[in-house]
Amino acid sequence: MSGHNKWSTIKHKKGAADAKRGKLFSRLVKEITIAARLGGGDPDGNPRLRSALATAKGASMPKDNITRAIQKGTGELPGASYEEVNYEGYGPGGIAIFVECMTDNRMRTTPEIRHLLSKHGGNLGELGSVAWMFDRKGMFLVPASSIDEDKLMEVALEAGAEDLESDGDHFQVTSPPEVFHAVRDALEQAGVEVGEASVMMIPQNPMKVDGKKAEQCIKLLDLLEDHDDVQNVYSNLEVDEDVEAGAS
């Protein structure tokens, strides 16, 4: 299997964004709430909720926050009713951008996302305008020091995963989205330490952008990620590390 690690290029500056604990917890609360609303508050019978709770636990989210989020989803507590909305568009240099949101007011979110894109050299596209440029995949990041590669491969492939890659420090397991929860359950049952896990949009053909355009792209992606209703931002942007560091 291939040895190229895509993780760092899939979600723009994910580590830096998730370091903002308030923003991270807000995203997790929304995911837990909507998972409980759609599938019930029992994680044993709700794979999406079970996955969200595992992520929340990994982020050291307080138990009270988790309990309240579930109760808001099941209607035991009052709370906002969120809906999932995706936006597609283009950034400076023509990069493709796919934005996943959870909002309690689509009429507020849509013009705000459109404004961010247009103000920073991009534009909002029609539904389906860029989604075809991405593949939806389940992704799992496993510390290489925590398990033997052959053992990990055996567990992952048996559960339905399709690929395993290594960059030396981590193994990256890829699965079709429909078996994401099954693979996660199998890894946990086998005692595998999963550092990160999510269903992601992976660009089929990364687009190289240089100079000022690259800095504009990075700024736009940062602003989108900071928006209160945004859960995830994906793009096919490819820049040199020194350009990204300079734009941070």
User: What are 128-138's pLDDT values in tens digits?
Assistant: 999 999 999 99
pLDDT reading at 147 higher than 90 = no
In this prediction, residue 166 carries a pLDDT of: 87
CB hemisphere CA count around 219 (13 angstroms):
16
pLDDT reading at 144 higher than 50 = yes
List, for residues 187-239, the tens digit of each pLDDT value. Answer: 988 988 888 888 999 999 999 998 899 999 999 999 999 999 999 999 999 97
List, for residues 23-41, the tens digit of each pLDDT value. Answer: 888 899 999 999 999 999 9
- The DSSP bridge pattern shows strands 230-235 and 96-103 to be antiparallel
State the chain's mean pLDDT as an integer: 87
Q: Give the pair of three-digit tokens for residue 212.
A: 């000022």
pLDDT reading at 156 higher than 60 = yes
Helix residue ranges, H only, 93-210: 106-119, 149-159, 180-189
- The more confident residue out of 91 and 59 is 91
Domain residue ranges in the chain: 14-74
| CA–CA–CA angle 55, 231, 112 (5° rounding) | 165
Report the DSSP beta bridge partners of residue 208.
Answer: 238
> How far apart (Å, rounded) are the C-alpha atoms in residues 212 and 138?
33
Sheet holding 163-166, edge to edge: 163-166, 170-175, 134-143, 196-203
pTM of the model: 0.82
pLDDT reading at 74 higher than 70 = yes
Between helix 63-74 and helix 21-39 the angle, nearest 10°, is 40
pLDDT reading at 4 higher than 70 = no
In the CATH scheme, what is the code of domain 14-74?
1.10.10.200
In this prediction, residue 54 carries a pLDDT of: 86
Check if the beta carbon of residue 88 is closer than 8 Å to that of residue 131.
yes
The DSSP symbol for 170 reads E
In this prediction, residue 19 carries a pLDDT of: 52
Q: How many CB atoms sit inside 10 A of residue 173's CB? A: 28
pLDDT reading at 240 higher than 90 = no
